Structure 1
């Protein structure tokens, strides 16, 4: 997927970090989840710096860190910088449970964390992400997530939809009629075979819509007037085509 779901882990015990990272990676492989543990640290200051300055979607925090910063205060600081990050606490001290949920905690795992309990959490997490319309698109019949920002355009190719992103091409068996209602308003139908993300358009020359990396899609005659009106006035209905056109 474009913009893989990035996990970062913080615990004061190296062996616990290694075990948790290994369990997560095993679950990602088992269920073909497009996720990765991108950072682990026993140092809360290094962890904070990484999370603030890098794309991170999910963090696992030990509450009782052997440091002047505990997991709760670390979560409080991170939440100020990132309102949407998923926070999952791990601790052997169950009395911290109620305090942990002050920081919009997604889950709270008692130590030692079992594979079975972790599996439940990850399944819930990915279901929650799939149900969040503002950031991610889950491809049909797949555990692949794309960020809306990463998509240049969507092309209809027979029974498939082709998703052109910054770096790669993805495909799924789906239809415009099914996907259009769930897309943000910056996704606009411009052709019988194309939906474009107008936020990523670099230039328009005649009937050609141009993106970076020399990528091009086209404006169809049936959509030309409405599409130009959308670009001129910012009136962006993502279902600008009729029901008949969306098929």
Structure 2
């Protein structure tokens, strides 16, 4: 799941950009799009992609606010949006993925959005550190078959029957993993690369492990399974 924030003090502009973005989300990619009048309204966890208007309420400078707000989250993909091309030079002194001029053209939005998704995919494929007691492990997403949450611990079940445990919430873990990891149950994430079959209650993995699918998530899980097969066939 990628979290997208559209930050613009003009409600009409926010909604228009959201409507275009919803049509551009690729099959198999889950996105949550939030609308905000300014960056101070952001809440609910880290943002993956931020579309930020350069001129916000009361003349606030969106560039300066981005630098301040995302100083601790350098992996966020920032795309500036403005009706004032004179800000172009100021934008290119900052780290960003795109610069869109209003009225935003669909193709330019598509190009910037897909560049951001490609960079996020590359970031999430990289190994990350997990810690348990005095040991730190390098977790490689490509080697994780599924993740299980149990009694405040998360268990990374990897290839070759290798398991790593850590104190993490699934909601935090899913934000660090590639889109092929599907949240099929309140206590499970599954790597669709290792799924060989789906039933009404489980994913069956390549080593015959059964990963449960909750009843309310089954329809989404089934759709994700078929999208993943189709994308690999392409």
| 8 Å contact from structure 1 (residues 64, 91) kept in 2 | yes
RMSD between aligned residues: 3.8
In 1, the alpha carbon distance for the partners of 2:51 and 2:166 equals 33
Q: Which runs of 4+ in 1 moved over 6 A?
A: 152-156
1:144-223 equivalent positions in 2, closer than 5 A: 162-164=145-147, 166=149, 192=160, 194-200=161-167
In 2, Cα distance between the equivalents of 1:107 and 1:99? 13
Q: 2:62 aligns with which of 56, 67, 71?
A: 71
Q: What's the TM-score once normalised by structure 2's chain length?
A: 0.56
Query: Is residue 2:45 matched to residue 1:22?
Result: no
Q: Give structure 2 stretches of 5+ with no counterpart.
A: 131-138, 151-155, 169-186, 190-234
Map of 1:210 onto structure 2:
none
CA distance in 2, matches of 1:126, 1:165: 26
Name the counterpart of 1:40.
35
Q: What SS does the corresponding residue of 1:164 show, helix, strand or coil?
A: strand
Residue of structure 2 in register with 1:225 after alignment? none
Cα distance, 1:67–1:81 mapped onto 2, change above 3 Å? farther
The unaligned stretches of length 5 or more in structure 1 are: 139-146, 168-186, 202-212, 216-247
Given candidates 127, 131, 138, the residue that maps to 2:122 is 131
- Give the Cα–Cα distance (whole angstroms) in 2 for the partners of residues 214 and 114 of structure 1: 40
The question of 1:13 aligning with 2:4 is answered no
Match of 1:87 in 2: 78
Spell out, residue by residue over 1:72-94, the C-alpha distance to the aligned partner (whole angstroms, 9 max, x if none): 12112113232221111001211
Cα distance change on mapping 1:155 and 1:48 into 2, 3 Å: closer
CA distance in 1, matches of 2:76, 2:18: 18
Q: Which has the larger radius of gyration?
A: 1
Cα–Cα, structure 1 residues 75 and 200, in superposed 2: closer, same or farther, change >3 Å?
same
- Structure 1 residue 16 displacement after superposition: 0.8
The 3 A distance-change label for structure 1 pair 59 and 198 is same
Counterparts of 2:91 and 2:125 in 1: how far apart (Å)? 29
Match of 1:57 in 2: 48
